[in-house]
Structure 1
């Protein structure tokens, strides 16, 4: 049941661009992507729910190669949509993700967005232990009980993704969905491959070096769009 704040928001409207012109541009962009994926790129193999995610990734980057790179567990989109509708926390590895997620969209279901990469305690422990801040940030989120039934969003730090997978494997956390699309040259491919190969939690990822926080944000927005 929606609370009074949620009831004052037109659900379908708030998930779209806020202006008529913005909606027109977005709709035209998606139409071009749908046309060109068939005309120039041999089509795609995704179901409608997953294609909404991949199409937004292409829209965000201008790169049709993501139609070949994105990977989903069987129930990934449904798991993400359901978790968002239930008000799940979203925990990110970097502030770029938390800053990029639409505040208007997540307030509909009361989804909090959390990132501890700049937390002073996390920084201090990382220096003392010789580990990355991203690892410490995920551990702090775990200790605060934020990772169970959460969407964990990793777009920058492979070490964060590896640590999340370790916690899943050790039974420390049970997230609803892991969106793991870190970009880079050191362990980015390997961390995404590890996410792809595990069987304990639903995931959305990509293969190869390409990725980044904007793609994680676009993925979350695509899931939010499908909650209404």
Structure 2
């Protein structure tokens, strides 16, 4: 019989101990919570090698959250994974326009994805927000296009779409745009849980800093 740890607190403590013991890159103190949570969420220590965090990403994300910024997601799954009550305590909310009125119809008319259309139809929501993309490469490309305009530029882009068609390429483009603070996982790996995890790590850090 395996002697399983059953106490939730002990499980998390031991998980983080194992993750920290395996960290190989020189992350800053502010970056570390994001890195360890990403590894914890996917259960794969090798993910560390493809995590990319812009030098200003953490600072810009925390500043935006402390000022009550909203989080805009590409799909409902990312939205569902974010700690909404904790974000609300900072003055922000989570929004996804994927199922907003007219989006499906407009997507058909334009011949593009709904997730891409959702951002194109609500550009004003992006300014000063944190955008979290966990599914759709096309949504990330649209956000990058909108970010070229200061009036529709987010404070931080968390771009972690997953898949084999466009995901790697869209993240490469994101990472090449060093004028925009971003957090991503390079390559084909990604997904909604990872995008939500990054947002939550930033929320928890912001709340912890405000408490001191």
Structure 2 length as normaliser, TM-score? 0.90
CA RMSD across the alignment: 1.4
Give secondary structure in 2 for the equivalent of 1:215. helix
Counterpart position of 2:142: 163
- Please point out which of 2, 10, 14 is paired with 1:24: 10
Counterpart position of 2:90: 109
- Please point out which of 161, 183, 188 is paired with 1:204: 183
Q: Using the alignment, how far apart are the partners of 1:107 and 1:172 within structure 2?
A: 24
Give secondary structure in 2 for the equivalent of 1:126. helix
Are 2:133 and 2:195, in contact at CA under 8 Å, matched by a contact in 1? yes
In the TM superposition, 1:85-164 aligns within 5 A as 85-142=66-123, 145-164=124-143
Are 1:76 and 1:202, in contact at CA under 8 Å, matched by a contact in 2? yes
Q: Using the alignment, how far apart are the partners of 2:143 and 2:34 within structure 1?
A: 22
Summarize deviations over 1:49-76 as a string: whole Å, max 9, x none: 1121011011101011211011011110
Q: Using the alignment, how far apart are the partners of 2:99 and 2:8 within structure 1?
A: 33
Structure 1 length as normaliser, TM-score? 0.84
Give secondary structure in 2 for the equivalent of 1:57. helix
Q: Using the alignment, how far apart are the partners of 1:56 and 1:220 within structure 2?
A: 10
Counterpart position of 2:20: 34
State the number of aligned residues: 201
1:25 Cα deviation from its structure 2 partner? 2.5
Counterpart position of 1:3: none
Are 1:178 and 1:204, in contact at CA under 8 Å, matched by a contact in 2? yes
Between 48-57 and 155-164, report the one with greater CA deviation. 48-57
1:169 Cα deviation from its structure 2 partner? 2.2
Q: Using the alignment, how far apart are the partners of 2:155 and 2:71 within structure 1?
A: 10
1:170 Cα deviation from its structure 2 partner? 4.4
1:124 Cα deviation from its structure 2 partner? 0.6
Q: Using the alignment, how far apart are the partners of 2:195 and 2:107 within structure 1?
A: 25
Structure 1 portions without partners, runs of 5+: 1-20
1:194 Cα deviation from its structure 2 partner? 0.5
Counterpart position of 1:12: none
1:22 Cα deviation from its structure 2 partner? 3.5
- Please point out which of 184, 187, 197 is paired with 2:163: 184
Structure 2 portions without partners, runs of 5+: 1-6
Are 1:168 and 1:200, in contact at CA under 8 Å, matched by a contact in 2? no
